[in-house]
Structure 1
């Protein structure tokens, strides 16, 4: 900083600096405060939107629990309105479940395919794919079911995938392939239910 001989010189220097830079300081301050307030507003709006979506999701679940597949229309409206959120994915999974219970397999399959295409969560995608494969197997679309299972990526699902492959092979009368698949399921950590299936195939 420059040295000034008198207080008057210091005052004049400050006045001169303020004249040259004061406007920029004020504008910068206003912009900075505006940015902070804008960010806080944006954050509060996001939180409020999430809370509103959460409440709407809870109401959707309640409707499904109380009315089953009859609540499909309102549930679909929620899914469409919140298509980019995981709430929509969860709602679609629940809707698919009640549709399966109601025997509406094609409709359930449509929901599960939507989940697999729109979710960002690998576990939820795998859940949808395995459930889709079960429906396809029930509809005797065995090749489609196996193709769906081939897309399941998480290794944590290996046991369930192998078990379902065994079920499909058994439905097709292929006992040898079913036995191999059940063995793989056990090795991947599946439970006693699979062991029972394997025991039933003992030669």
Structure 2
């Protein structure tokens, strides 16, 4: 602001500046308060929603653990109405209980949903791995191989390779199964996986039996 010769000139200059800029200042202050309180309201709302979802999740999980198959419908409804972490967790739990209840199709449905449409990226490969194992057990190795192709995270390389070997073996492709098991063994953590080693040994024995000519 310029230097004025009198207080009256200073006052007039302030009045003039306020007329030009006052409205924008007031609007800015109002917007700031609205934004601040709006953000607080949003945070409070989301926190309350999260707490409510957590409480409801605990309730349906308790019902599932106590009532088992009788609670399947209630858990399914919870999953449909909660497209979030709790819904994904409930889907994984429901799948496990469905396997125990000898309902593999329901388990596969839940696992496929989490693997393909889950809200948490961390849960998708976990669900896909469980689904691929289940599909092999259901004698659907081709479907299992398709699911395994969707899992690209490096940390799951060993387990994916092992399940791939299981699926290939179930598809009557022992040579490819051996290759997959070898990849799994080489990709695993330090130390030998006894189950995986047994699978490789069984394939070696089977191969020797085929290659050894029968005595006449």
Give the alignment's TM-score, normalised by structure 1.
0.88
Q: Deviations over 1:77-112 (max 9, x none)?
A: 1111112x1221111111111101111111111111
Query: Do residues 98 (structure 1) and 100 (structure 2) align?
Result: no
Q: Does the CA-based 8 Å contact 2:162-2:184 persist in structure 1?
A: yes
> What is the 5 A alignment of 1:78-117?
78-83=78-83, 85-117=84-116
Structure 1, 132-141 or 172-181: larger mean CA deviation? 172-181
**CA separation of 1:6 and 1:109: change in aligned 2, threshold 3 A:** same
**CA separation of 1:137 and 1:6: change in aligned 2, threshold 3 A:** same
> What is the 5 A alignment of 1:135-154?
135-154=134-153
Q: For this pair of structures, how many residues does the alignment match?
A: 202
* RMSD between aligned residues: 2.0
Structure 1, unmatched stretches of 5+, are none
Q: Does the CA-based 8 Å contact 1:89-1:118 persist in structure 2?
A: no
Q: Which residue of 1 aligns with 2:188?
A: 189
Q: Which residue of 2 aligns with 1:53?
A: 53
Once the two structures are TM-superposed, the CA of residue 174 in structure 1 deviates from its matched residue by: 4.1
Give the alignment's TM-score, normalised by structure 2.
0.83
SS in 2 for 1:201: helix
Q: Which residue of 2 aligns with 1:65?
A: 65
Q: Deviations over 1:36-71 (max 9, x none)?
A: 111211122112212221222222222222222321
Q: Which residue of 2 aligns with 1:202?
A: 204
Once the two structures are TM-superposed, the CA of residue 186 in structure 1 deviates from its matched residue by: 0.8
Structure 2, unmatched stretches of 5+, are 206-216
Partners of 1:122 and 1:48 lie apart in 2 by: 24
Q: Which residue of 2 aligns with 1:22?
A: 22
Partners of 1:139 and 1:78 lie apart in 2 by: 27
Q: Does the CA-based 8 Å contact 2:88-2:119 persist in structure 1?
A: no
